Amino acid sequence: MATRKGSCDWRFDAGRLCLDLVATGAGRADAPDPLDRPERLAHWLMASGAVPQGTRLTAVDHHWLLLFRQLRTAVDRLLTAQLGGRGAEGALERVNALAAGAPPGVRAVRTGSGALVRGLSTEPDCRALLATVARDAVELLTDPVALGRLRRCEGDSCRRIYLDTSRGRRRRWCSSEVCGNRERVARHRRRNADPAGRSPAP
């Protein structure tokens, strides 16, 4: 699967900005939280495409971390409820409230080569970036086609949610190189185990 470089250099792209945020908290249970420091959040904001590369994010602090983790939890609850055919009204209210905010202003910036690239009008504040992610969640939740492609990774101990855009809609893992490879290795070991369940001697 071709992916863009995400936060913490994962070879993983969930297919939507809001899903990429949820993925930072939905890895293996024994893994540390990638959003454990303000500088990691600033890195994620750029790596995920929430802001253009090179954007000044000098105001990111632990309060930003708290608010983005709260949004992550709310979006995760909404998507989990959606996959299970349930409601999550408290989480929906939280996401809707944040989505009502104004996202950062954008402008076209000319590079040294003459090409135009996206930039921001000013250094964004926390509420504006929360609004960007929350609006993406609202757009996903109100798009029947996208919702039909929403999947939960089948890998052991992995809870990541992604959009299945594969041909035939048969994708099973968030990442073929990580969770998919773990499953293939486990399957190979099971096939080569003896009847007592022991792996063959080397």
Give the pLDDT confidence of 92-148 residue by residue, as tens digits.
Answer: 999 999 999 999 999 999 999 999 999 999 999 999 999 999 999 999 999 999 998
- Check if the beta carbon of residue 171 is closer than 8 Å to that of residue 151: yes
Contacts of 181 (CB under 8 A, 6+ apart): none
Contacts of 62 (CB under 8 A, 6+ apart): 38
Q: What is the predicted pLDDT for the residue at 80?
A: 92
Q: What is the predicted pLDDT for the residue at 196?
A: 54
Task: Give the pLDDT confidence of 63-78 residue by residue, as tens digits.
Answer: 999 999 999 999 999 9
Helices (runs of H) and strands (runs of E) counted in the chain: 7, 4
DSSP 8: G
- Check if the beta carbon of residue 151 is closer than 8 Å to that of residue 137: no
Both tokens of 135, joined, read 């609006």
* 202 pLDDT higher than 50: no
Q: Which residue has the higher pLDDT, 85 or 104?
A: 104
150 three-state secondary structure:
strand
Extended strands (E) in 15-146:
106-110, 116-120
Q: How far apart are CA 164 and CA 144, in angstroms?
A: 14
Residue with tokens 């590369």: 53
* 10 pLDDT higher than 50: no
Q: Which residue has the higher pLDDT, 182 or 67?
A: 67
Q: What is the predicted pLDDT for the residue at 8?
A: 45
What pTM was computed for the model?
0.80
